[in-house]
Structure 1
Amino acid sequence: MDPSREDAIHHERSVKIICVGAGASGICLAYKLQRSFKNFSLTVYEKNPEVSGTWYENRYPGCACDVPAHNYTYSFEPKSDWSSVYAGSTEIRQYFQTFVAKHNLSKYIRTSHQVEGCQWKEDRGVWQITVTDLETGRHVHDWCHILVHATGYLNKLQWPKISGWDNFKGTKLHSADYDDKVSLEGKNILLIGAGSSAVQILLAIQPIVNKVKIFIRSPTWVLPGISDATGEYSQEQIAQYVAYPEKVQLLRQENEQRMNSIFTMYLRDTVLQHQVRDLLESMLDNALPDEEMKKRLIPNFSVGCKRVVPSGHIYLKTLKESNVEVIYSGVESITDSGCLGEDGSSHDGDIIICATGFDVSYIPRYPVLGRNDRNWQDEWTSEIMGYMGVGVSEFPNMFTMLGPYTPVTNGPTLICIEAQADYICQMIDRYQTEPIQSFTLKRDVCAEFKAHVASVMEKTVWTDNCRNSHNNHSVGSRTPTTWPGSALHYLEAMREIRFDDWDFKYTGNRFSWLGTGVSQAEWDPTADLAYYIRQQDNMPLASRWRRNMAIAKSGTMTPRVLHRQPKLAMPKGNGVISGDSEHHEKSNEAQS
């Protein structure tokens, strides 16, 4: 009897996948699965009525991305007709919606469906999922072989931990759940926070409100002049980009190369860290009008310890407007008419806007019960045991996207999302073509990984004396949960899976994937059965070094001076911003 198709080597069994979240990560995973797999089913549950995740939820005044718009796209899906250099949340949301429509991904996505809980069933090797249809209130029970949590890390808003919220008789708003139907015109606003969101809100509302008081508990570094380039493109410029895609490609490459050349700024005592700090300190010293503002607004921690605000001179100018008052204090409590500052001062307002960010503890909103009913929520309350942004210690057949140790501040984020989707797809491919029941990250591996991260972080600015999201807005309470390296470093680390970090369990004989001796090529009537006969060696390279150099297009660019930014070392005013003559001599030697 002739063998059946199922007897061929690497036969693809059916695999059922559930993804939680239809933001940039979940959408990317859906695209990658559709592009490469055939015998699979996928359901993406999204709690919001539309896709795009954080860009659906964040719609506060002035909300925009601080990455140039042409680079805030998937690497393979450029957009030529961005309206401005730095796009607002509405346009970014439209980009992801258009992507879903173009690639027909909506068939996988169930919007207004909120996951309530997940439980692993060891005997069957599957996850059981409970979901609520938010439109009907009906409970949906589903299951999958592989579960992906693509809920992101900017999706759980954080109100300040201060007393008296129920006392306030005015309107309370939060940047992460903003009600854009509330009119601010002519109102007195109390704005709590001084990070990127607060700055964007301040710049947007200052021209229309009667008065705004902004509470700055601690300073942050701001970039000079970035906001000068945030204006809209002219119709002629957009037409040029649409007509000549190669111009967009060149712009994207130049922007990306620049972003990927500054990682050493995030390491302590490097030339770039000193250069950037000198530059920003000089800019703030010249821009701030009095010693009190200089004392309050020039940070004493390293540049990059918390996210740098790209608003420059316009932000500093706005702080000096007549209807803006800066309160150098946190908020102690809320009163019926406003709030009390930590310095004892009292402030009245019609509307309180909290731009206080998110809970970035990475603890899921819903219970996830793994083996022996261990709850992921409880596990990470005491200790985060994540793995390279994609894994959770000892929870079978489960992944995260944008989990802890993803490069979310030190390089382009979307390409890292793509790397995570590729990693997950590689694991799904192995699961689908071998008799695997479960794969689980080993606890000792995650412990070693975390120890390595902790040792590297001591050399970075993220462990300096500042509150940042990677420490869940606290100082020194945990190892920072960003990636301990550059974005390019992360891409290289994620490119090839370390399968020995995982524990695999099989059903039956683990070698049953060999089938009865027939290849996949022999089951394809259009395949070349002599495909290995060729005139030159074009097979994959055998060493990581050669593979990485080929991927990075080594030898195609003009040699650059490593870990230096010539513009930062150029004379400014009466002297050199940073880098002494020795640095310049070394740079010249390297250039030659």
Structure 2
Amino acid sequence: MTLISPDQPTYVLAPVTDVDRRALDAAIDVAEPGALLMALVHHSGDTALLDEFRARLDQERSRTQAIMGEYPATVAAEVRERARHLLAGPLIPRIAVPDDALFRRMAELCVDDTVGEEYVPHLREQGGFEPARRVVPATRKPPAGFTVAIIGCGMIGLNAAIELGQAGFRYQVFEERDDLGGTWSRNTYPGAAVDTPSHFYSYSFELNPRWSKYYPTGPEYLQYLHHVAGKYDLYPHITFSAKVLGCRWQEDDQIWEITVRHKDGSVRTHRANAVVTATGVLNAAAIPDIDGIDTFDGETMHTAEWRHDVDLSGKRVVVLGTGCTSVQVVAAIAGQVKSLDVVMRQPHWVIPERKVAADVPEGMRWALEHIPYFHQWFRVKTYWWAADKGYSIPRIDEEWYATHVSSSPANDMVMRVCLDYLDRSFPDRPDLKEMLTPDFPPFAKRIVKDPGFFEAVKRDNVSLHRGSLRRIRPDGVVTTEGEFIAADVIIWATGFRLEYLGFLDVVGRGGIRLAEEWAEENPRAYLGITVPGFPNFFVTAGPNAAPNHGGGHNVTSEEHVHYIVESLQYLVENGHTAMEPTREATEDYNRRVDEELDKTVWKHGGTANGYYRNKAGRAWVACPWRLVDYWAMLRAPEPRDYVFTG
């Protein structure tokens, strides 16, 4: 993969003056037509194209059923023909980023859908047209000694480092591992890949036009993060092999003392005015405690601790689990092992996605890199159909749910797609179809995009088993159904223990401990970010902050980091030393969260296991709001909801 790396963020566009006509023609042949049409408007300055093609789309829609904003073939062909005439000579746009009214018209035509006015500033930012707009005035620079400690160096940690640095704050990143990347440095199992589209699952200020696949592999995504760290000169600020053991607030000094065990084994104390946790929540590998596990004569490994020294060729392999990770592993190794037995407690809903393993054509990559604004509009279209369009799907229609497996008509549409995919995949294998059909509504557990799992389980050397493992013997495993399976290798595709900072000793004002505040798997935070009693302590990817209905972790990343920078700048502007949310604001916010989630399959999903609910049954992962609404909540801190010191 080749990454472009100009000095400026990728929303700063330079004209393309030396155009390779053959490459341009090849790009036009495969470019996404909605985004290409918007690039033509930018290039020509002719906004009449919007009315012309709006009429064409409306006319074609009356004849054919559009699918997720996909342009009809006749309209797509006309866009390409127009592009061959208009994209002549240097590619110098006559319209840069349009005003809000024009942007909305362009967005609606690009995605071929109605776009609410509230989405315009959100899409301008997430599409990569412009940086996040600052809300808190920045008339004062942070004091020279004001320092922020960032714990973790994955997607959010890197983002926090970039944004804090650009806002003038000193920062230091502590990373437990010897590499950055978080999930993508840890998960190196065969088939590891992101299940969110490449051209969206990246920073809005650092688009990458050279993704090789529409859904990035783990190694390619890790390379992207390394590119970002290098471009923004983050390495001097990162301390690797540095495990943060705890943080303690010192009231007299208005400072956090952070205890860190370094690579040489020494334990040192560092001081910071604010702490940003960017550790994620799925960190500790969940390995089941099964009778006889220590007696197994073969090899065992968890997908997050993959043993590359173990050769699976010709081996009898047992995989426990059928979630997003398991299906990737199974699809990747089925062809090299002697036998593969997949043991699953519950099947997941599996949805077809034709691009999940597809390469990005070279022409498409050329268009993304060289046609001004094509990439931004392609990102908008990708995001639009993968984000709030799914908001209604996990919500419950009580009258419908009383008589259906699905939770609502919208939820049922997804279920029908999945059921149709099962029918088409297993026309001659009713046994597999039955075993792979869930009995709960889609989205109650994370939905799976098929990377080739359905094809893999039809192989002669692959078998499915419902249940779990009751006992492990030296030569294999015994399932809860009493079946013995001979094995040379056991792979735990059992996910992670969900931990909201439970591994970190955080002591706030007056000696209060975060572990006690969040005991019994009941973490609560204001906006999912700040906690009463813990001044200048910012949690990213906190409780009830995950965009489970759509979008991706990258949205949460940028929104949370923006809010943190705005909050710290508010302290600087007003001469305060610390801030923490009031208990009243926190309790009120979480009351509204619970009320909203009580209407969803994340709370009442009819599934016996999964990490979306805590042991008391509360939905503690999902954010209940539309992505655009949560984005709006996080533009700047609301002073009345905080207590300030100094």
Range of TM-score over shorter length: 0.7 to 0.9
State the Cα distance separating 1:486 from its structure 2 match: 2.2
In 2, are the aligned partners of 1:80 and 1:245 still within 8 Å (CA)?
no
Structure 2 Cα separation of the partners of residues 172 and 381 of structure 1 = 32
For 1:325, which of 451, 457, 463 is the aligned residue? 463
The TM-score, its normalising length taken from structure 1, stands at 0.79
Classify the secondary structure of the residue corresponding to 1:176.
helix
- Read off the aligned partner of 1:16 and give its amino acid letter: T
1:153 shift after superposition: 1.5
**Deviating more after overlay: 476-485 vs 41-50:** 476-485
The C-alpha deviation readout for 1:319-351, integer Å capped at 9, x for no partner, is 121010101111123222222211122222111
Is 1:488 aligned to residue 488 of structure 2? no
| Residues 393 and 337 (structure 1), Cα distance of their counterparts in 2 relative to 1, 3 Å cut | farther
Take 1:11 and 1:415, find their aligned partners in 2: how far apart are those partners? Answer: 27
* Structure 2 counterpart of 1:104, one-letter code: D
Please name the residue that 1:500 is paired with: 640
Q: 1:197, 1:388 → 2: CA distance?
A: 29
User: Are residues 1:353 and 2:491 paired?
Assistant: yes
| Structure 1 position 470 matched with structure 2 position 629 | no
Please name the residue that 1:89 is paired with: 218
Equivalent position SS for 1:470: coil
Please tell me whether the aligned partners of residues 22 and 45 of structure 1 are also in contact (alpha carbons under 8 angstroms).
yes
Taking a change above 3 Å as real, the CA distance of residues 245 and 161 of structure 1, as seen in their structure-2 partners, is farther
Q: Which whole-Å deviations, capped at 9, do the CAs of 1:499-519 have from their partners, x for residues lacking one?
A: 22222122xxxxxxxxxxxxx
Equivalent residue, structure 1, for 2:516: 378
Letter paired with 2:340: V
On the 8 A contact 1:457/1:480 being kept in 2, the answer is: no
DSSP 3-state at the match of 1:433: helix
Residues in 2 aligned to 1:12 and 1:116: alpha-carbon distance in whole angstroms = 27
Task: Tell me, yes or no, if structure 1 residue 70 matches structure 2 residue 199.
Answer: yes
1:172 maps onto 2:281 in alignment: no
Is 1:33 aligned with 2:174? no
Question: Of 408, 421, 424, which residue of structure 1 is paired with 2:564?
Answer: 424
Q: Which residue of 2 aligns with 1:251?
A: 378
Residue 101 (1) aligns with residue 230 (2): yes
Partner of 2:12: none
Distance in 2 of aligned mates of 1:356 and 1:245: 44
State the shift of 1:237 in Å.
3.9
CA pair 287-79 structure 1, distance change in 2 beyond 3 A? same
5 Å-filtered alignment, 1:287-436, equals: 287-288=425-426, 289-311=428-450, 314-382=452-520, 383-410=522-549, 411-436=551-576
The offset of 1:293, in angstroms, is 3.2
Distance 1:486 1:154 in 2: 23
- 2:143 aligned residue (13, 20, 23): 13
Q: Which moved more, 1:55-64 or 1:269-278?
A: 269-278
The TM-score, its normalising length taken from structure 2, stands at 0.73
- Distance change >3 Å, CA 243–CA 300, structure 1 → 2: same
C-alpha contact 2:195 2:356 (8 A) present in aligned 1:
no
- Retained in 2: the 8 A contact 1:219–1:296? yes
Correspondence list, 1:141-152, <5 A: 141-152=269-280
In 2, the alpha carbon distance for the partners of 1:348 and 1:227 equals 35
1:271 to 399, 409, 427: 409
- 333, 347, 364: which one pairs with 1:219? 347
Cα drift, residue 70 of structure 1: 1.2
Q: Could you tell me which amino acid in structure 2 is paired with residue 491 of structure 1?
A: W
CA contact (8 A) 1:471 1:477 kept: yes
Retained in 2: the 8 A contact 1:385–1:393? Answer: no
1:196 is aligned to: 324
Secondary structure of the corresponding residue to residue 69 of structure 1: coil
CA distance in 2, matches of 1:345, 1:63: 30
Provide the C-alpha distance between the structure 2 equivalents of 1:355 and 1:349, rounded to a whole number of angstroms. 16
Alignment partner of 2:585 out of 445, 455, 475: 445
**Structure-2 separation of matches of 1:337 and 1:444:** 58
Closer, same or farther in 2 for the Cα pair 1:481/1:237, shift >3 Å? closer
Give the drift of 1:117.
Answer: 1.5
Q: SS in structure 2 opposite 1:259?
A: coil
Partner Cα separation in structure 2 for residue 186 and residue 387 of structure 1: 52
Measure how far apart 1:278 and its partner are. 2.1
Contact 1:154 1:359 in 2 (8 A): yes
Identity score, percent = 27
The 1-side partners of 2:512 and 2:471 are apart by: 38
Determine the C-alpha separation between the residues in 2 that align with 1:28 and 1:222: 32
Deviation at 1:295, TM superposition (A): 3.2
**CA shift at 1:361, angstroms?**
3.3
Deviations 1:387-413 (A, max 9, x none): 222122321210111111213422232
Q: Is the 8 A contact 1:256 1:412 kept in 2?
A: no
Match of 1:558 in 2: none
Q: Is the 8 A contact 1:407 1:486 kept in 2?
A: no
Rounded Cα–Cα distance in structure 1 between residues aligned with 2:423 and 2:440: 16
Instruction: Give deviations 1:299-325, integer Å, cap 9, x for gaps.
Output: 12111111111007x322221210101
The one-letter code matched in structure 1 to 2:411 is Q
| Partner SS, residue 623 of structure 2 | coil
Say yes or no: does 1:157 pair with 2:274: no
Quote the RMSD (CA, aligned, Å).
2.0
Residue range with higher mean Cα deviation, 355-364 or 42-51: 355-364
Tell me if the contact between 2:342 and 2:463 (Cα under 8 Å) persists in the aligned partners: yes
Letter in 1 for 2:393: M
Change (3 A) 1:334 1:371: farther
Q: Which runs of 5+ in 1 are unaligned?
A: 1-7, 507-592
* Separation of aligned partners in 1, 2:435 and 2:257: 53
Q: Between 89-98 and 246-255, report the one with greater CA deviation.
A: 246-255
Q: Do the aligned residues in 1 keep the contact of 2:350 with 2:448 (CA within 8 Å)?
A: yes
What's the counterpart of residue 283 of structure 1? 421
d(CA) in 2 for partners of 1:250 and 1:9?
34
Give 1:291 shift: 4.2
SS at match of 1:27: helix
SS of the residue corresponding to residue 491 of structure 2 reads strand
Q: Secondary structure at the match of 2:620?
A: coil
Is 1:80 the counterpart of 2:220? The answer is: no
CA contact (8 A) 2:148 2:171 kept: yes
Contact 2:249 2:507 in 1 (8 A): yes
CA contact (8 A) 1:363 1:380 kept: no
Residue type at the aligned position of 1:390: I
Shift of 1:265: 1.2
User: In 1, distance between residues paired with 2:234 and 2:447?
Assistant: 35
| Equivalent of residue 243 in structure 2, options 114, 133, 156 | 114
> Aligned partners of 1:294 and 1:447: how far apart in 2?
45
Alignment partners' CA distance in 2, 1:60 and 1:133: 27
CA distance in 1, matches of 2:581, 2:627: 23
Gap change, CA 1:228 and 1:412, over 3 Å in 2: closer
Question: C-alpha displacement at 1:76, in angstroms?
Answer: 1.4
User: 1:127-184, CA deviations, whole angstroms, 9 ceiling, x for partnerless residues?
Assistant: 11111112x2122210111011110112222112433322222111111121223211
